[in-house]
Structure 1
Amino acid sequence: MHRMQRLIPTGNPARPVAFAEDVQPVPQPDEALIRVEAFAPNRGETFLLERPRPGLLPGKDVAGLVVQAAADGSGPQIGARVVGHPPQGGWAEYAAVPTHSLAVLPDGIGAVQAAALPLAGITALRLLRTAGGVTGRRILLTGASGGVGHYFTELAAAAGAEVSVVTATPSRGERLLELGAAAVVHEVTEAQGPFDVVLESTGGADLPAALSKLAPGGTLIWFGQAGRTPVTLDFFDLLAGCEGATIRHFHYAGAPYGPDLTTLVRLVNGGRLHPEIGRVADWEQTARTLVDLRERRIRGKAVLTTGSVR
C-alpha cells in the first residue's frame, strides 16, 4: 500500500488540523485519483473542525493532476490537469474524486487559481440561477467579502444587475466595487432599498433587517449563518414590512458538479471571472490559515499548496 500525508482534525480550535500518515485512497470505479497540488478551505469547514465528528476527513476544493483515471472510462485521463470538488478528503497529497465532480483545466489557469473555484464558485452560480433573471433588478448581498460574495457580485453585475453589498469594512468593499458592485455599505440598515432580491448569509439581526429592505413581492434567499447567531423573526414585524415577501432557503449541494466547474473555468479563462485570493501559503500553514479564515482575517479565498512535508 502506498502511504501519504494528510491533514486530520485535532479538535483543538487553536490548531484545528495536524499532519498524519495515511494510506493513499483507492478510487471507486467512477473516481479518478488526483495528486493534489493546491486546495482551498471554506469558512464553513472551520466551524466543523471545532467539534469534528469521528472520521471527518476535511477538504472539498482541490486542483491537481490525474495520476489514475477512473476504471469505468469516464472523466479525464492520466496527466490531465483538473479542478475537483470531492465529498471529503481533499487536504492530502492524493484525493479520489468522482469524475462527475471534475473539470479539465486549460494551460492558462494554474492550480492555485483553480482551487479557489469549487464551493464558492458553484454556490455563486447556483445562487444566480435561483435568483432568476437579474438583468435590471436591484439585489442586496450580505456577507459579501468572502469567496461567494466576490464571485456572485462579478457574475450578477456582468448580467446587468444593480448589486449593493454589505461588508464589515471599507477596505473589504473596494474590490467589490471594482468587480461591479453599485454600492457598498457596512450595515444592512444602511442599504438604500427597496430591493427585488436579497441574498442573506450572516443571520442574527441581519436577516430581519434585510427582509425589511425588500420591494413588494420581492424574494429573500437565505443561504448561510456566518455570524453564527440564530435568526429571530417577529411575525407582526413581517406583516408591517414588505408585502408578499417570499423567503427561500438555499443550499448549493447537489451533484454533478463537473458542468458548473467547467463553466467557472471557461469564465476565468475568458477573463470574465476573477478569483479573489487573499492568501496563498504552503500547507504547513494550514492550521494558522484556518484560524484566520474563521476569524475573518482573510478577504476572499485562502489557498494552500502541497509540497514536501518537513
Structure 2
Amino acid sequence: MQRLIPTGEAARPVAFAEVPQPVPEPDEALIKVEAFAPNRGETFLLEHPRPGHLPGKDISGLVVQAAADGSGPGVGTRVVGHPAQGGWAEYAAVPTHSLAALPDSIDSVRAAALPLAGITALRLLRTAGSLAGRRVLLTGASGGVGHYVTELAVGAGAELTAVTATPVRGERLAELGAQVVHDVAAAQGPFDIVLESTGGSGLPTALLKMRPGGTLVWFGQASRTPVTLDFFQLLGGPERVTIRHFHYAGAPYGSDLAALVRLVEQGRLHPEIGRIANWAETADTLVDLQERRIRGKAVLLTGEGR
C-alpha cells in the first residue's frame, strides 16, 4: 500500500512509499482511509523526524477488518478515528477506543477535520469550566481548535474575544459570534478566562488583562517563542490569577469523537475547512499549513473520500 513518510526536507516534508499493509493488534480495527487532516503541530515534528515516525492522527474511512477482540465497530462501518500515528496512508490500524461511527449525513471530509482539534476544544472548555456569562479571551484563534472553541464557547453563553493575525483570518470567527482583534494588546478586558495558545509575548500581555481570581489556560506555543514573566509587573496586575497548563492527550478518545459527531449532526458545530485536496498535494499543504496560509483545517483525500 501507499504511505506518506517523512523526508526531513523543509520544502517537501513527506513523500510516498510502498509499504506492507498494517497488521492490527487484537483491540484495533483496520481502516481504509478516505480522508485525513494534518495539524500544524505535526508539521513541526516533520522538521526533524525521529526514526520510525509515521505521521497522521486524524482520519476518516471505512472499517475493512473488525478488531479481533470483538470491540468496536463492525466491517463496513464508516468511522472517524484518532490513531497515535500512521494515518497518512491507504490503510491504518486504529484502537477501537479511538473510533466513532459516522452517520450518513456527515461526509468523510468534515469527519476527518474533527479529531485532534475537536477533542482539544472539548477538553479545553471542560478545563475552563462554566462559560455562561463569562468574558473569555482566545489567542491564536484562526486555526482548527480556535474555530471549534469559538463556536462551542459562544454557544455556551460566553462573551468571547478572539485574537487573529489578520482580518481575513477572523471573518468566520466574527460570524460565529466572537469579537475579533488582531493583537492581544487590543483586547478589551478584563477577562474571566484566557485560553492562550501562542506563548512568547502574548501570554504575559493577556495575563495582565484578567480579572482578579481569573484563570489562564495555556494550551500551546504557536509562536515557538518561550514565555518570560515579570514577577513585579504581575504584582501590579490582577491578584490571585491561576495559570493552568493544558495538553489534550489521553486516550480513550472514542466518547469525545462521538460527542463531536453528534454536535455536527445537530448543526451545533461546523468544521472550518480552508483547503480540500488530493493527498498527492500533501507536501505543499503541510508547508502552507505551517506558514499559516490556510484558515481552519486542511483535509486531504486518498481518492475514496466523499
TM over 0.5: yes
CA displacement at 1:307 relative to structure 2: 2.6
Distance 1:307 1:191 in 2: 44
In structure 2, the partner of 1:88 is: 85
Aligned residues: 304
Alignment deviations for residues 167-215 of structure 1 (CA, whole Å, 9 cap, x no partner):
011111110011121x110000000000000000011000000101110
Q: Please state how far the C-alpha of 1:235 moved relative to its aligned partner.
A: 1.1
Equivalent in the alignment of 2:248: 252
Q: Which blocks of at least 5 consecutive residues in structure 2 are unaligned?
A: none
Q: Name which of 19, 40, 44 aligns with 1:43.
A: 40
Sequence identity, in percent? 80
- Tell me the amino acid that sits aligned with residue 17 of structure 1: V
Query: Aligned partners of 2:177 and 2:256: how far apart in 1?
Result: 22
The reply to whether residue 137 of structure 1 matches residue 134 of structure 2 is yes
Normalised TM-score (structure 2): 0.99
Look up the match of 2:180: 184
Cα-to-partner distance string for 1:262-302 (whole Å, 9 max, x where unaligned): 00000001110000000000000000000000000000000
2:119 corresponds, among 119, 122, 130, to 122
- After TM superposition, list the pairs within 5 Å mapping 1:1-310 onto structure 2: 4-181=1-178, 183-307=179-303
SS at the partner of 1:218?
strand
Distance in 2, matches of 1:180 and 1:125, equals 18
Which letter maps to 2:176? L
Q: Give CA deviations for 1:13-69 in whole Å, capped at 9, x if unaligned.
A: 110000001110000000000000000000000000000011100000000000000
Give the distance between the partners of 1:10 and 1:128, measured in 2 at CA.
36
- Secondary structure of 2:93's match? strand
Structure 1 residue 133, shift from structure 2 partner: 0.5
Find the aligned partners of 1:213 and 1:126 in 2 and give their Cα distance: 24
CA-atom RMSD in angstroms: 0.7
Cα deviation 1:207-234 (Å, max 9, x = unaligned): 0001011100000000000011111111
Q: Counterpart of 2:60 in 1: which secondary structure?
A: strand
**TM-score of the two chains, using structure 1 as the length reference:** 0.97
Unaligned runs of 5+ in 1: none
Distance in 2, matches of 1:95 and 1:299, equals 27
